[in-house]
Chain A
Amino acid sequence: AQSVTQLGSHVSVSEGALVLLRCNYSSSVPPYLFWYVQYPNQGLQLLLKYTTGATLVKGINGFEAEFKKSETSFHLTKPSAHMSDAAEYFCAVSAGTGFQKLVFGTGTRLLVSP
């Protein structure tokens, strides 16, 4: 069984500040981990993914995440927030085998103030 916990339903940052969105997972098999972003009235868009190999993965729009097995974490970061980053962010895990359904966290809404 797999699960994802996202700490903080809302995170507020100032433009130019560091963005840190937290994700912890639980998985009985080696996990595949994903971050998706949802802008208003749009679908879920993949930001980045971790499957195997390098634990620091880079995604679109300057985001990156680091897979830490010992901490069962996959936190999302961006060095400098931009107003356009305001959106809902979802962390998800899949088993990487079978039909690979995604198990999502509850999401974190990122608010960026000028």
Chain B
Amino acid sequence: EPEVTQTPSHQVTQMGQEVILRCVPISNHLYFYWYRQILGQKVEFLVSFYNNEISEKSEIFDDQFSVERPDGSNFTLKIRSTKLEDSAMYFCASRKEGGAGNIQYFGAGTRLSVL
């Protein structure tokens, strides 16, 4: 069964460094998402991406964050200058099309630790 793949599974970085989290969505999917979960808190929406542009973003997704689909397969989340509070599990998700209730398929996540 097709799956969403995220790499790396764990990323450790120093505060102020740039990180790029990578995702390979399911190949025929059109809608892409990033969510994050700070330890002990709920999964929070960050951004959705469709037709090569951001379709919606949350207040968390400030200028330090960016997303890109550099080719036909990858979907990346970049954090330009990491802060301690960016430490979290980041989940990528993709969805096939705009049908009602079409489900989002999630990757296993990247655990980001900012020291």
A residues near B (Cβ < 8 Å) are 32, 34, 36, 41-46, 49, 51-52, 90, 92, 96, 98-107
Contacts and interface: CB of A to CB of B under 8 A. Distances in A.
A99 B100 CA distance: 10
Interface of B: 3-4, 6, 9, 31, 33, 35, 41-45, 48, 50, 55-56, 91, 93, 95, 98, 100-109
B95 A100 contact: yes
Contacts of A106: 41-42
Q: Do most interface residues of chain A lie in helix, strand or loop, or is the interface mixed?
A: loop
Contacts, number: 65
Given A34-B103, A99-B31, A100-B31, 14 more contacts: A32-B101, A36-B106, A41-B108, A43-B3, A43-B91, A43-B105, A44-B43, A46-B104, A96-B100, A99-B55, A102-B33, A102-B104, A103-B45, A105-B42
B101 A44 contact: no
B106 to A, nearest CB: 4
Nearest to A33: B101
